[in-house]
Amino acid sequence: MTVTNEQKIMVSFKNVHKYFKELHVINGVNLDIKQGEVVVVCGPSGSGKSTLIRTVNQLESIASGEIWVDGVNVADPKTDLNKIRTEVGFVFQHFNLYPHLSVLDNITLSPIKVKGMNKADAEKLALELLEKVGLAHKKGAFPNQLSGGQQQRVAIARGLAMQPRVMLFDEPTSALDPEMVGEVLKVMKDLAQSGMTMMCVTHEMGFAREVADRIIFVDAGQILEDREPNEFFTNPQTDRSKQFLSQIM
């Protein structure tokens, strides 16, 4: 996408800190993500990427600072977290589909239960989303009848069924067999092109280069680089990012 200055800021971290006991896992993070922007978060294992992304829908609380999602400070104790979680979709490494529910029922469950959507509308929406992720023909299947890549595509459709403003992805392809990575990245790329605001932790640097508007490089809970993909890949600025890129490319 082309990002202009006038575009509204969808997610904003303001001087965010978090600790796990003595570990300073998020150390003064400032980050603005504009509506429609796709931000890829990368960095060494244990650098705090998952913790950072999980703070956006408050799966992890923070010690200080502010996190704004579409004008609401999610770190404020008065904020209704259930509402935030309907507005922020999350796709994990492990798909966590409900094993006893069909694909269709996995997708309609939250829209019906949490949003109060009627069943017919929820099923219509679910079928549209299954169409988008290429799995309409699997609507009656159960998760254990699907490949890992198919399950992850259902998990993305399930996230989208809540009609979120932001989608978070935490290494969505890293538990998949290599031949299934592409089909999931394709769905994410289509989603990015549809204008969704996305924050993705991934080590898929091809995806990052092609789809991301910005790359955030995190080390020891700090953002060391926040740059355009081409600049990041061709001219990393820190020893840590150079070392990281040399290990994964």
Could you list the residues that contact ligand ADP (CB under 6 A)?
A: 20, 23, 25, 43, 45-51
CA angle 89, 93, 98 (to 5 degrees): 70
Nearer to ligand ADP, 12 or 55 (CB): 55
Nearer to Mg ion, 123 or 204 (CB): 204
**Residues within the interface to Mg ion (CB under 5 A):** 50
With CB under 5 to 8 Å by kind, the binding choice for 51 among Mg ion, ligand ADP, none is ligand ADP
Nearer to ligand ADP, 60 or 190 (CB): 60
Nearer to Mg ion, 171 or 183 (CB): 171
Instruction: Show Cβ contacts of residue 228 under 8 Å, excluding neighbours closer than 6 positions.
Output: 213, 214, 215
With CB under 5 to 8 Å by kind, the binding choice for 108 among Mg ion, ligand ADP, none is none
With CB under 5 to 8 Å by kind, the binding choice for 34 among Mg ion, ligand ADP, none is none
With CB under 5 to 8 Å by kind, the binding choice for 158 among Mg ion, ligand ADP, none is none
Nearer to ligand ADP, 45 or 246 (CB): 45
Determine whether 78 is exposed, middle or buried from the number of CB atoms within 10 Å of its CB (0-12, 13-18, 19+): exposed
Q: How many CA atoms lie within 13 A of 234 on its CB side?
A: 5
With CB under 5 to 8 Å by kind, the binding choice for 245 among ligand ADP, Mg ion, none is none
We find the least distance from the C-beta atom of residue 168 to Mg ion, in angstroms, to be: 12
We find the least distance from the C-beta atom of residue 53 to Mg ion, in angstroms, to be: 8
